[in-house]
Each structure stands twice: as structure tokens, then as C-alpha cells.
Amino acid sequence: MLAWRGCLLKPWAKPLVAAFVLSPLAFLLYAALFDERLLGANPAEALIRDTGELALRYLCVTLAITPLRVLTHTPQLARFRRMMGLVTYTYAVCHVLAYSWLDMGFELNDIIDDIPKRPFILVGFLAFVLLTPLALTSFNAAIKALGAQRWQLLHKCVYAIAGLAVLHFFWMRAGKQNFAEVSVYAAILAVLLGWRLWQWIRQKRL
């Protein structure tokens, strides 16, 4: 266990983790550019769907780092939280770009008209808009500029973003009556937010 924790502090640990979590994006880019057959019968839909699900997946991973760090007494995990947040945003940007390009042809007027018409698009776009300032202020210079208290308050928006992301996924799957994966993400999010609520109540009682 001590050896494993020590590995988390090695200089190669973060690049190795980054390569692993970004490998699905590398595969999607390769398939889109060189062999669309790897994406199935509908490559455009696969790119939009997969980038969105990967963004939601790594958002859950990002939120899980703090509970894992506390419950396993592994403070070394904290150094990966910022990176995982940026990975989440990378997949979210790819998701928005895939929708804007493959679904809407980069027609700005059509995109603007489409957002309020479809609730799941509106919710997903709102989640992306809220996530953007978190990504832009994930650096030490931003923390100094904002001040620690305001920076922490801003980054608590991640909980609302997670809820909007799950709702976006739910409404997207509602048309096909396919809620199995949605239930998994909703359960994970409920556990992660429930743990934070429990920690907050404990601190208030002390």
C-alpha cells in the first residue's frame, strides 16, 4: 500500500494517468479520420454519444477523488483532481464540437434555434457553460486572482453541473426508454453528493 501511494507522487504518474484517460479520445479521433467503420453504423451519432458519456464518466471520477482520498487516507490522490477536471472539460468540448459539426454543420443560427427547442440540449449546454469558468480558473494564478474563498465558492458549481449532466443524459435516453446507464450515473452521483452532505453535517456538529 505504501509503495502504491509512493508511486502516485512519481513524476511519471500524472502523464501515465493522462495518457490512459485520454486514450478513448485518441481512438475516436483515429476512427473518425481513418476508419469510420470502427464507430459502427452511424459514426456521427457514435462520436456525439461517446464524447458526452466520457465527459460524464470523468466528471464522476473527478468528484470521486476527494471521497477516495479521505476514506483511503491517500492524500496523494489530490494532485490528480485538477487534471481530471481538465480531462472532463476536454471531453465536454469535444462533445459540443461533435454536436455543432456533425449534427448542425456549424450553422450558428441553427444551433441557437435548436438549443431552446430541445430540453436535453438546453440542459447540456447550460452544464457546459457552467463548466467553462471552472476549467478556466483551475490554475494557481486564477486562485490567487480570485482569492481562495471566492474560488472555492465558484468551484462548488460542479455539483450543479453534475446534476445537469445527468439530467441531460436522462432526457437524451428518454426517447428510447433506455435508462439503465442513466440509473448507474445517477446512483454514483447520489452517493458522491450524499457523502459530501454527510461530511458537511459532521463538520457543523463539531
Half-sphere CA count of 123, side-chain side, radius 13 A: 17
In this structure, which long-range contacts are made by residues 150-158, counting pairs with CB atoms below 8 Å and at least 24 apart in sequence? 157/130, 157/133, 158/59, 158/62, 158/63, 158/85, 158/131, 158/134
Which residues, 6+ apart, have CB-to-CB distance to 13 below 8 Å? Answer: 7
Q: Which domain holds residue 145?
A: 42-205
Predicted local confidence at residue 9, as pLDDT? 86
Give pLDDT < 50 ranges for the chain. Answer: none
Classify residue 108: in a domain, yes or no.
Answer: yes
SS (H, E, C) 57-87: HHHHHHHHHHHHHHHCCCHHHHHHHHHHHHH
Predicted local confidence at residue 204, as pLDDT? 80
Classify residue 17: in a domain, yes or no.
Answer: no
Number of domains in the chain: 1
Spatial distance between the Cα atoms of 198 and 192, rounded to a whole number of angstroms: 10
Classify residue 3: in a domain, yes or no.
Answer: no
Angle made by CA atoms 135, 188, 177, in degrees to the nearest 5 = 100
Spatial distance between the Cα atoms of 53 and 140, rounded to a whole number of angstroms: 29
Classify residue 30: in a domain, yes or no.
Answer: no
Predicted local confidence at residue 2, as pLDDT? 56
**pTM recorded for the entire structure:** 0.94
Which residues, 6+ apart, have CB-to-CB distance to 202 below 8 Å? Answer: none
Predicted local confidence at residue 206, as pLDDT? 65
Classify residue 133: in a domain, yes or no.
Answer: yes
Classify residue 70: in a domain, yes or no.
Answer: yes
Phi-psi region of 105 (alpha: psi -120 to 50; beta: other; left: phi over 0): left
